[in-house]
């Protein structure tokens, strides 16, 4: 009981410096963990966006072939397979774009160097997929402009 009332031991300047360094190291480590968790989240969005793209193409192709067969399923009479496919492709594009924008915003919030944010392998994959989505979405419009 007397220990609780006794004055605390004074730390030497070296011990204070070591304690301060440990706290700074722990803070840096915590920031790295947070940044890596956000990187994993971006990778999950890339996976989801890519899945939406490929599933959109598969739906378009599969349902388009089914819609040309005689005695087609009644649901194909109500739903346009092209609309479903393009909606999924567009959703993948929007999801990827929003995830990249959020990732960049988060990186700036943590005051990362721009090369770490924009040049990371995850971001490069994201850029390629967004460009691919954009080209896919614009292809019908460009084809209609070029071929009257």
Classify residue 53: in a domain, yes or no.
Answer: yes
Classify residue 11: in a domain, yes or no.
Answer: no
Higher pLDDT, 75 or 145: 145
pLDDT of 46 above 70: yes
Name the least confident of 34-38, 68-72, 133-137. 68-72
Q: Residue 4: its pLDDT value, please?
A: 57
Classify residue 51: in a domain, yes or no.
Answer: yes
Yes or no: say if 93 and 134 are a contact pair by the CB < 8 Å rule.
yes
Classify residue 95: in a domain, yes or no.
Answer: yes
Degrees to nearest 5, angle at CA 8 with 5 and 12: 170
Range of the domain at 56: 19-146
pLDDT tens for each residue of 102-134: 888 877 777 665 556 667 777 788 888 888 888
Classify residue 14: in a domain, yes or no.
Answer: no
Classify residue 7: in a domain, yes or no.
Answer: no
Q: How far apart are CA 120 and CA 18, in angstroms?
A: 33
Yes or no: say if 105 and 125 are a contact pair by the CB < 8 Å rule.
no
Helix (H) or strand (E) holding 67: helix 13-67
pTM of the model: 0.65
Classify residue 12: in a domain, yes or no.
Answer: no
- Number of compact structural domains in the chain: 1
Q: Residue 68: its pLDDT value, please?
A: 65
pLDDT of 72 above 70: no
Classify residue 1: in a domain, yes or no.
Answer: no
């Amino acid at each position: 009981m007397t220990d609780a009332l006794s004055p605390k031991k004074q730390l030497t300047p070296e011990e204070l410096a070591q304690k301060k360094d440990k706290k700074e190291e722990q803070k840096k480590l915590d920031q790295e963990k947070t940044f890596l968790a956000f990187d994993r989240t971006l990778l999950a969005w890339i996976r989801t966006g890519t899945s939406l793209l490929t599933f959109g193409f598969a739906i378009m192709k599969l349902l388009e072939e089914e819609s040309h067969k005689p005695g087609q399923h009644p649901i194909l009479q109500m739903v346009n397979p092209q609309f479903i496919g393009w909606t999924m492709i567009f959703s993948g594009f929007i999801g990827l774009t929003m995830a990249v924008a959020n990732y960049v915003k988060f990186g700036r919030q943590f005051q990362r160097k721009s090369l770490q944010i924009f040049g990371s392998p995850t971001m490069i994959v994201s850029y390629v997929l967004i460009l691919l989505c954009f080209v896919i979405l614009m292809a019908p419009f460009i084809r209609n402009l070029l071929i009257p």
